[in-house]
Structure 1
């Protein structure tokens, strides 16, 4: 499975000092590029000079490497479990082959997937305002969004997505390790 785009983010439960991130990135902007990755720092509007969310995105898997370097540095400076509300990972991947769907034309699908794709979710109404959820969209590409309170890497989510495709389209009932 070839990852086309990826995004890693931290959502903070408590305001995190922006000065820590400015020191690490050696940058005073809230939107910038580093190591072929786009970085967006979203400040907490309630508390100036503090961060609510940091996102690192890139083509391919480069954002994962940059994100892990940041996490290692942050873990040396602070106790992450006191500040992190959730880790958020997204990726878009090319499917190795097309999967025909036998979906009745009367079944409504969400978004731009009309009659050509499927969305699987473990949350009601695709509600993304939760601490933990997974959403998988399968059409011409595979798109996965996962949020969890414990750190999860892109490679683990890729394996989970491959297993899901095998179960849904190939009828496999056991999940390989």
Structure 2
């Protein structure tokens, strides 16, 4: 089997990967993504068969990294409507900070779910798999998936409310209690 050198590839293709990521993401600060691309390449170089150009393989890795990061950021947006109440606002810098804190609260709350609930939330709510697909992966019925998902979302709502997060339907109650005090 032919030996491949990541160091050589870095020298040859780093600029191409950087350019690709800059155009693909729309950001000029892509050094972390470039670094992650080559770190993954180091770990997976044994899987590179040489059927394609190394630059193509590296760009595919870089693309997958961006897609994975985008999916992780969408976690909050996908599940948020279950909890959030204000829509259609353009976020300012303060709003972005609040969203980051809310996203961290959601990650922390998901971590506190049972392992089965956590898996179902990730598969159904984040990866958007169907109940049937989720059931096949977890080796259970789609009905059990739906029940577990419903209970997990209810538990997430409770956990987030414990942390002071205002969930949909809860805001009006909080306003009334503030007005009466």
- TM bin, normalised by shorter chain, reads under 0.3
More relative contact order, 1 or 2 (CA 8 Å, 6+ apart): 1
Q: TM-score, normalised by structure 2?
A: 0.25
Which protein is richer in strand relative to its size?
A: 1
- Give the TM-score, by structure 1 length: 0.25
Bigger radius of gyration: 2
* Bigger fraction of residues in helix: 2
